[in-house]
Copies of this chain bind each other. A is one copy, B any other.
Amino acid sequence: MRKLSNYVPILDWGRRYNRGAFSNDLIAAVIVTIMLIPQSLAYALLAGLPPEAGIYASIVPIILYAIFGTSRALAVGPVAVVSLLTASAVGQVAEQGTAGYAIAALTLAFLSGGFLLLLGLLRLGFLANFLSHPVIAGFITASGILIATSQLTHILGVPAGGHTLIEMAETLLAHLGQVDLITLIIGVSATAFLFWVRKGLKPLLRALGLGARAADVLTKAGPVAAVVATTVATWALGLADQGVAIVGAVPQSLPPLTLPGMSPDLIRQLAVPAILISVIGFVESVSVAQTLAAKKRQRIDPNQELIGLGTANLGAAFTGGYPVTGGFARSVVNFDAGAETPAAGAFTAVGLAIAALALTPLVYFLPKATLAATIIVAVLGLVDFSILKKTWVYSKSDFAAVAATIVLTLGAGVEVGVASGVVLSIALHLYKTSRPHVAEVGLVPNTQHFRNILRHEVKTDPGVLTLRVDESLYFVNARFLEDLVQDRIAEGCEIRHVILMFSAVNEVDYSALESLEAINHRLTDLGVGLHLSEVKGPVMDRLGKAHFLDALNGEVFLSQYDAWTSLKSDEAVE
């Protein structure tokens, strides 16, 4: 029986909550709140939603995750990749800026939340493993490029669109004559400033004698400085009247109660994107949570994480948000700032609620170009082509999966890109196991070890063929072994015994059993003995149940050395 506190972890850590944890959590919450205000506005912009949606999406979801999630440091809210996926999915069913668009975003959060919750309750978290690390890395790199490119529209002050790199580039180039100069100046200087904050500010502050911690916090506040400076400049110089796009009126309100659209048509159109967003969001979130938990020897439970993220998304759906997940940057900041429990998240929610009520009028004159700059700087940090080089060196098939994911994400959009990556990874894995490594082995002189005859000087016997099968046997490779044995027998007429060495065979499925039966049958017809050696316990149990061991014309030997000593003839040669 699973206890209630397994499903509601707050019952566990909440009981032991104390003053020390409270003050640590509070400090972390203040730092994270300052960082999140511009970020939330910016990601809402990326998702094609009004800016307040980003703040709303950070309040109730954070509280729900604090109740149901297992990570002590994960900060849940809008993140770049999920915002891009939202824009891509919702853009296919509604026009940006319409009420239908916002409602579709709620529906997407609702479907995604429901799906995550269902997976969690059914304990199907392992499904996320079908996204391989290289595919995720490739996808995130390509998404970063797509996101940065999409933000050029705000930096240049021209309309843009499209879901692939080519479409975006075409739209941008078509409007290049209409670039707004003042917007461009704001955008470029904000971007340059933020890059400098990222790379150059901290060393400078340290050189000026500031402590490491203080330098860190000031660096994190860089985006806030850019926001303040450009907002003040826009207001003071009246730049909005000269064509600079600004955030404008943001309602002063706590998250409103909203209802996601529930028409069957809408649900059908958004179901597949919702699954994709759920899985990608979950994978990103779990890796962050796991990395942070490991540093303190804590555990996270992936299935409970599904429940935490599921309720967070359901919360977003009913409070004016859009799909959320655990973000990398905000979680690391939270962790570094000393957050001890999920209560830090709840305090962040309170901070953002205050911001939503009190600070929203202050962002009226905030140029969209500044928000675009914060996004560009953040996502270019995600772009990392080194995965291509690393996989090229390590394994060509992993390389193929990454390269396909990157090229297709850029060239055909996020959904096609990530789906192709997953399918290709699975196909390549099946392909590799379909042609398993099978070594003919012989005895290393003066030992009881058997090694590949092609790599080592070993004793062999022309009458005894020993094949070491380096793969589990299942339907994809069953016939391969059948063919191999048949080919070897057709070649070597003096063979009297075939030994299959099963030390690395972890499974024999029914197709492989039939292949073994076929091999046994054919060898029996030819008067050749078939023997097995070093068969694992579970495999042995199965073969026994199927009566294969009764039908086997030879013997099963515990060790290959036993098999060799009892089958070899005097002709054995070195």
Contacts and interface: CB of A to CB of B under 8 A. Distances in A.
Contact of A504 (B432, B479, B503, B537): B503
Contacts of A482: 290
A253 interface: no
Contacts of A19: none
Interface centre among A435, A476, A482 (most CB of B within 10 A): A476
Nearest to A504: B504
B435 A395 contact: no
Contacts of A425: 475
A391 interface: yes
Interface in A544-569: 545-546
Interface stretch (A45-53, A157-165, A291-299, A412-420): A291-299
Contact of A476 (B129, B431, B475): B129
Contacts of A511: 132-134, 398
A39 B518 CA distance: 29
Interface residues of chain A: helix, strand, loop or mixed (majority): helix
A364 interface: no
Contact of A434 (B129, B431, B432, B518): B129
Nearest to A131: B475
A487 B299 contact: yes
Interface in A270-329: 290-291, 293-295, 297-299, 302
B129 A477 contact: yes
A522 B298 CA distance: 11
Contacts of A131: 475
Contacts of A430: 130, 426
Instruction: Categorize the interface residue count of chain A.
Output: 35 or more
A170 interface: no
A450 B482 CA distance: 32
B391 A522 contact: no
Contacts of A475: 129-135, 425, 429
Interface centre among A394, A434, A478, A507 (most CB of B within 10 A): A394
| Pairs of residues from A and B, 4 with the lowest C-beta to C-beta distance, nearest first | A132-B475, A398-B510, A133-B511, A294-B522
Given A135-B475, A394-B546, 16 more contacts: A126-B480, A129-B476, A131-B475, A132-B478, A132-B509, A132-B511, A133-B478, A290-B483, A294-B525, A295-B522, A299-B487, A299-B490, A397-B509, A437-B538, A455-B537, A472-B472
Interface of A: 126, 129-135, 290-291, 293-295, 297-299, 302, 390-391, 393-395, 397-398, 425-426, 429-437, 452, 455, 470-472, 474-480, 482-483, 486-487, 489-490, 503-504, 506-507, 509-511, 513-515, 518, 522, 525-526, 536-538, 542, 545-546
